Structure 1
Amino acid sequence: MSLRLRLTLYYGLVLGAFLLLSGAVVYGVFHRALHQILDESLREAAAIAVSELRIRDSGHLQNRLPGAIALTVYDAQGRPLWQLGQPWVEVELKTGFLSVQGTRVYNHPLPGGGVVQVMRSQQEALSTLDKTQKTLLMGLPVLFVLALGMGYLLADRSLRPVDQVTRLAEAIAASERYGQRVPESPGQDEMARLTRTFNAMLGRLERTIEREKAFALAAAHELRTPLSLLQGRASLSLERPRTPEQYREALAEIARTAEDLAQVIEALLLLARTHVPFEPEPVELDLLALEVQEQLEGLAKEKQVRVMLELEPTPYRGHPLTLRTAIANLLSNAIKYGPVGGRVWLRTRREGACAVVEVADEGPGIPQGQLERLLQPFQRGAGTQGVRGAGLGLTLVMAIAEQHGGRLRLEKAPEGGLLARLELPEENRR
C-alpha cells in the first residue's frame, strides 16, 4: 500500500470518528434544545393560566397560549374546575414535567392548593428530530466521501516533492550524475526543508566524491613515484654485475624508498579508518601528548629542538589510536619543519565543553594563502625540500578532528611560527 493510500486511510479513520461524534453531538444538542423549547412553552402556558384564573375568559386565555395546548385547572381535591381543550391522556397530578404516550405534561401547583395541568403533543418535536436524523444519516456519508477524496488529493499534492526526490535519487543512482538538484519547494514547511536538505546532501555528496576522486588520483601518483624508483633501481642493479659496495648502496636506496612507500600506505590506511564509526573510550589527552613527546624525543634531539610541555589534565572520550596519531603528526611536523635549535610548545587544556591540543613552533610559519592548500592530501609547504614526508600529516589530522566532530585550525603562533590547534568538542560528535 502506497503512502498516499495509508495517509488517506488514517485520515479517513480519524475523519469518520470525528463525523460520527459530531453527528451524535449535533443530534443530542438539537434533541435537548427542542425539548427545552417545548417545556418552556408549557411553563409559559401554566404561568399565563395562573394569571388569568380570575378572568374566566377562555377565549382571551386561548389567544395568549402558545401553540396547540390542552389546559385543565384542578382544585385541592383533584376535581377539575374548568378546562381549555380536551386532554389527550390522563396522568397523576404530580408537580413537574412528565412524558406520556407522545405527550408532554406539566403540572404547576397553585398557591391555595390545586394544580394547573398543561399538556402538548411531542409529535412536532419528534418529527423534527426524525428529519434531523435522516439528514445526518444521508449527509454525513456524502460529506465523508467528499472529504476523503479531498484528503487523497491533498496527500498527493503534498507528496509530489517526495516523488521528485525519489525519481532524482533513482536517476542519480542510474547515471551517477551528482550535479542534479531537486526543485526546491517554496516556504518553510516540511517539504521545503526536505528539498533543501536533500539538495544540501547532494552538494556535500558531490564535493565528497570529487574530493575522493582527486585524492585517488593524487594517491595513485604518489604511490607510482616510489614504485617507479624501486623498479628502476632494481632493474639498473641487475643490468650487469656490480661490486658488493654498489649492491649495498642500491639496497640502501631501495630500503629508504620502501620505507617512504610504507609510510604513505600506513597514512592512507589511517585516513580510511577515520571514516569508520567507533565506540568512544575515555582518553586523557595530556597523557597521550606526553607519550607522543617521549616517542619523538629522538627526532627532537636530532634537530636540537626543545619541546616545552604545558599539559593540563584534559579528559575526553574518543578514539585513542587516531588521537595519538593526530598529536604525533602535529608535533613531528613542528619539529621537522621548525628551525634547528628552536623550541616547540605542546599544550593540552579544556575550554568549556571542548578539549584542545595546541602545537606551536618558532619557524617561519606558513603564508595565509597556503594554509587551505596544505590541508589537502599530498601538499607540502615551501622550504620543505630535504624533509622526508608524503604530505598527508595535516590531512590526516583534519580527518581525525572531523571524525570526532571537531576541527583543525592553523594560524600564526604568538611565538612567531605556526600554531596548529586541534579542537575536540564533547557534543556534536559524529
Structure 2
Amino acid sequence: MSLRLRLTLYYGLVLVAFLLLSGVVVYGVFHAALHQTLDESLQETAILTAAEIRLGTASDGGSSRLQNRLPGVTALTVYDAQGRPLWQLGEPWVEVELKTGFLSVQGTRVYNHPLPDGGVVQVMRSQQEAVNTLSRTQKTLLLGLPVLFVVALGVGYLLADRSLRPVDQVTRLAGAIAASGRYGQRVPESPGQDEMARLTRTFNAMLGRLERTIEREKAFALAAAHELRTPLSLLQGRASLSLERPRTPEQYREALAEIARTAEDLAQVIEALLLLARTHAPFEPEPVELDLLALEVQEQLEGLAKERQVRLVLELEPTPYRGHPFTLRTAIANLLSNAIKYGPVGGRVWLRTRREGARAVVEVADEGPGIPPEQLERLLQPFQRGAGTQGVRGAGLGLTLVMAIAEQHGGRLRLEQAPEGGLRARLELPEP
C-alpha cells in the first residue's frame, strides 16, 4: 500500500472518530438546549400566571393574555391549597402529583409552581415537538456525516498527493542518479519553509556536497597518479641505467643511495595518502591536551630545527579538547615541520596553543618572506608547493592533510600573513 493511501486511511480513521465525537457532542448540546428552552417556557408561564393571580386578573382579561402566551400544546391549571382546580386553560391530558418542580410523565413535561396561599400553578406541555426536532437533527447528522467523510477523504488524498510530490521527485532523481551516475542533477526546490521545502533543499545540498567531494577525489586521484609516476619512473630509470653495463662498487653505492632516497620519498607519499584516506572515517572523540601534543611534536622535531638552525618559540596555554589524538598530533607535526623546512635558515618559528571561546586553536608562524595572498588557496590543494621550496624534500601533501584533519573535527585551517612577517597557519577546532 502506498504512503498516500496509508496517510489517507489514517486521516480517515482520525476523521471518523472526530466526526462521531462531534456528532455526539452536537446532538447532546442540542438535546439539552431544547429541553432547557421547554423548561424555561413552562417556568415563565407559571410565574406569569402567579403574578396575574396576585393582581386578581387571572380569571378575566388576563386569561386571554395567558392563552396567547402559551406556546404549542400547553395546558395550564391553578389549584387551591386543598388540590382542587380553581380554573384552567386547556384540558390536562395526564394526572400528575402536585409536587413542586419539574416532572416528565408519558412524554409530557410538567412544572408545578407554588403559590403563597398554598395553591399550585401547574403547566404542562407535550415533548413531542422537541422529540421530532431531535429526530430530524439525528437524521441530518446520520446522513451528513458519511457525505462529509467521503468529501474529506477525497480532499485528504489530494493534499497527501500534493504534499508527497517532492518526495516522488527526490525518489525519481535518486533512481536516475543511481542508474546513470550523473550526480549533477538537482530536484526543483519546494517554496516556503515547511518540511518538504527543507527536504528538497537538504537533498540538493547533499548532492552538491557529494558532487564537490567526488570531483575533489577524482582530481586528487589524477594528481596522486601523476605524482607517484614520477618517483617510480626515477626508480626504474636509475635501476635500468645501473644495469646497462658493469659499474664500480662506488657507482653502485651511489645508484643504490639515490634509489633509497626515491623509495623513501615514495613511501612518505603513500603513507600520507593512506592517512588522508583515514581522515574520512568516523572516530570516537577522546580527551586530549593540545598543548601537551604540541610539546611532544616540538621534542620530536628538535633535531630538524637544529639542522636548520631554527629557534622554536613555545607559547603553550592549557588547551583541553576532545578529538583524535593521532591525527591531531600529525596535523601539528606537519604545520611545525613545514615552518621549519620552508622558513629562513637561522630564523624563528612560533608554536602556540590556546582557547578562543568555544574553539581550540593551534597556531604556527614563521618570520620568512611569506606567501602572496593569491597563492594561499592553491597551497591547500594536493601536491601543490610554494615558490622557493626547490631542494626541500616533500610531496606537497602536508597542508592538504592538515585541512582534512581539521574538517574531520568540524574545524578549518586558515593561512594568513603573520605579524612576524612570514606565514601563519591557524588550526581552529570547535567543540565536538
TM-score, normalised to structure 1's length? 0.97
Q: Alignment partner of 1:19: what SS?
A: helix
Cα deviation code 1:348-385 (max 9, x no counterpart): 11111111100000111110000000000000001100
Instruction: Point out where structure 1 has 5 or more consecutive residues left out of the alignment.
Output: none
Q: Alignment partner of 1:313: what SS?
A: coil
**Counterpart Cα distance in 1 of 2:263 and 2:285:** 34
**Counterpart Cα distance in 1 of 2:3 and 2:353:** 53
Q: Is the 8 A contact 1:108 1:116 kept in 2?
A: yes
**278-287 vs 90-99, which deviates more?**
90-99
**195-204 vs 245-254, which deviates more?**
195-204
Query: Aligned residue for 2:425?
Result: 420
Query: Aligned residue for 1:22?
Result: 22
**Counterpart Cα distance in 2 of 1:160 and 1:299:** 63
Q: Alignment partner of 2:53: what SS?
A: coil
Q: Is the 8 A contact 1:73 1:82 kept in 2?
A: yes
Cα drift, residue 61 of structure 1? 3.1
Q: Is the 8 A contact 1:52 1:61 kept in 2?
A: no
Cα drift, residue 52 of structure 1? 2.9
**Counterpart Cα distance in 2 of 1:165 and 1:26:** 45
Pairing of 1:93-242 with structure 2 (within 5 A): 93-242=98-247
Cα drift, residue 417 of structure 1? 0.3
**Counterpart Cα distance in 1 of 2:211 and 2:382:** 18
Q: Is the 8 A contact 1:312 1:349 kept in 2?
A: yes
Cα drift, residue 43 of structure 1? 1.2
Q: Is the 8 A contact 1:411 1:418 kept in 2?
A: yes
Query: Is the alpha carbon distance of 1:6 and 1:114 closer, same or farther for their aligned partners in structure 2, counting shifts above 3 Å?
Result: same
Query: Is the alpha carbon distance of 1:410 and 1:60 closer, same or farther for their aligned partners in structure 2, counting shifts above 3 Å?
Result: closer
Cα drift, residue 185 of structure 1? 1.5
Q: Is the 8 A contact 1:286 1:313 kept in 2?
A: yes
Q: Is the 8 A contact 1:317 1:426 kept in 2?
A: yes
Cα drift, residue 54 of structure 1? 6.8
Q: Is the 8 A contact 1:361 1:417 kept in 2?
A: yes
Cα drift, residue 267 of structure 1? 0.4
Q: Is the 8 A contact 1:406 1:422 kept in 2?
A: yes
Q: Alignment partner of 1:52: what SS?
A: helix
Q: Is the 8 A contact 1:410 1:421 kept in 2?
A: yes
Cα drift, residue 414 of structure 1? 0.8
Q: Alignment partner of 1:98: what SS?
A: strand
Query: Aligned residue for 2:409?
Result: 404
Q: Alignment partner of 1:394: what SS?
A: helix
Cα deviation code 1:10-35 (max 9, x no counterpart): 21122111111111111011101111
**198-207 vs 375-384, which deviates more?**
198-207
Cα drift, residue 232 of structure 1? 1.4
**Counterpart Cα distance in 2 of 1:287 and 1:376:** 29
**Counterpart Cα distance in 2 of 1:271 and 1:8:** 50
Q: Is the 8 A contact 1:354 1:425 kept in 2?
A: yes
**Counterpart Cα distance in 2 of 1:376 and 1:283:** 28
Cα drift, residue 153 of structure 1? 0.8
TM-score, normalised to structure 2's length? 0.96
Cα drift, residue 60 of structure 1? 4.4
Cα drift, residue 186 of structure 1? 1.9
**70-79 vs 414-423, which deviates more?**
70-79
Cα drift, residue 74 of structure 1? 1.0
Q: Is the 8 A contact 1:45 1:66 kept in 2?
A: no
**14-23 vs 44-53, which deviates more?**
44-53
Q: Alignment partner of 1:25: what SS?
A: helix
RMSD: 1.2
Cα drift, residue 6 of structure 1? 2.0
Q: Alignment partner of 2:88: what SS?
A: strand
**Counterpart Cα distance in 1 of 2:249 and 2:69:** 141
**Counterpart Cα distance in 2 of 1:124 and 1:268:** 92
**Counterpart Cα distance in 2 of 1:54 and 1:226:** 126
Cα drift, residue 65 of structure 1? 2.2
Q: Alignment partner of 2:201: what SS?
A: helix
**Counterpart Cα distance in 1 of 2:430 and 2:54:** 97
**317-326 vs 134-143, which deviates more?**
134-143
Q: Alignment partner of 1:251: what SS?
A: helix
Query: Aligned residue for 1:82?
Result: 87
Q: Alignment partner of 2:54: what SS?
A: coil
Query: Is the alpha carbon distance of 1:283 and 1:65 closer, same or farther for their aligned partners in structure 2, counting shifts above 3 Å?
Result: same
Cα drift, residue 64 of structure 1? 3.1
Cα drift, residue 59 of structure 1? 4.0
**178-187 vs 211-220, which deviates more?**
178-187
Are 1:91 and 2:96 an aligned pair? yes
Query: Structure 1 segments of 4 or more deviating over 6 A?
Result: none
Q: Is the 8 A contact 1:289 1:327 kept in 2?
A: yes
**Counterpart Cα distance in 1 of 2:155 and 2:418:** 66
Cα deviation code 1:385-406 (max 9, x no counterpart): 0000000000000000010011
**Match for residue 315 of structure 2 among 292, 296, 310:** 310
Instruction: Point out where structure 2 has 5 or more consecutive residues left out of the alignment.
Output: 56-62
Cα drift, residue 189 of structure 1? 2.1
Q: Is the 8 A contact 1:48 1:64 kept in 2?
A: no
